[in-house]
Copies of this chain bind each other. A is one copy, B any other.
Amino acid sequence: MPRIGIFDSGFGGLTVQRAIVSLLPSVDTVYLGDTARLPYGTKSAATVTQYALKNARLLAGHEIDLLVVACNTASAVALPALRAELEVPVLGVVEPGALVAARATRTGRIGVIGTEGTVASGAYQEAILRARPGAEVVARACPLFVPLVEEGWTGEGDEVVQSVVRRYLSPFRGEGVDTLVLGCTHYPLLKRAIARELAGVKLVDSAEAIALEVLSRFPQAPSPEGEHRFLVTDSPEKFRAVAGLFLGRQVERAEHVDV
């Protein structure tokens, strides 16, 4: 079975790894979390592209058949550079998420939330317009969402969580969007709190969208379960402590690498 390389700035991309393995239990995966240099979302496109290339080169050394860029910010700014450099296909999370949103909306008014880097790049806005010309897209950065999730403060109804969610998302209500793209791998962990603020709005999780895209490339064959490795650039202990939040199960082993 194929081996899929997946990288993210840190932990969030584990939701992408999880969605892929859930649909394709027999693939092997090598996950790289660039925890020594996270976050990517607040950094410039030039710096994020440089980091993405280093991550991709390391994963290319693991005989991968496909590279999945699980980080929305890196997908938004670094795909052309990654495709120019790598010999294997490179998939980002932006395009699949945009396609799902373009199909889901009835009113043609779509909201996008993500990091500062993702929103500033305009990548989701462009991809949605390619898929659905004439759509109206409103994009907004939500910088507090990632630290909230990493602190473990995600509960629906929690005073802090709902007040931050309300501050960022209440403007969407007046703008009449019926579909919202959760354009950062951390955001699905806030899904219930977001749904409480924006009742009736369809929430699009790009981790699920890209997993379907990967599935379409590798028709399933009956075979044993795949093997999964986890590499990180900062402390493996901290990675193991946080990974469960995103993966829904414990990671037994994570290995330190320099990129």
B-contacting residues of A (Cβ < 8 Å)? 35-38, 42-44, 46-47, 143-144, 146-148, 150-151, 153, 159-160, 163-164, 167, 233-235, 238
In the complex, what residues of B have CB within 8 A of residue A163's CB? 159-160, 163
Tell me the smallest distance from the CB of A92 to a CB of chain B, in Å: 22
Tell me the smallest distance from the CB of A51 to a CB of chain B, in Å: 8
In the complex, what residues of B have CB within 8 A of residue A47's CB? 36, 233-235
Residue in B closest to A242 when the chains form the complex, CB atoms = B42
B147 touches A46 (CB 8 A): no
Residue in B closest to A235 when the chains form the complex, CB atoms = B44
In the complex, what residues of B have CB within 8 A of residue A146's CB? 147
Tell me the smallest distance from the CB of A85 to a CB of chain B, in Å: 20
Tell me the smallest distance from the CB of A259 to a CB of chain B, in Å: 13
Tell me the smallest distance from the CB of A39 to a CB of chain B, in Å: 8
Q: Tell me, in angstroms, the Cα distance from A77 to B159 when the chains sit together.
A: 34
Q: Tell me, in angstroms, the Cα distance from A235 to B119 when the chains sit together.
A: 17
Q: Tell me, in angstroms, the Cα distance from A234 to B116 when the chains sit together.
A: 15
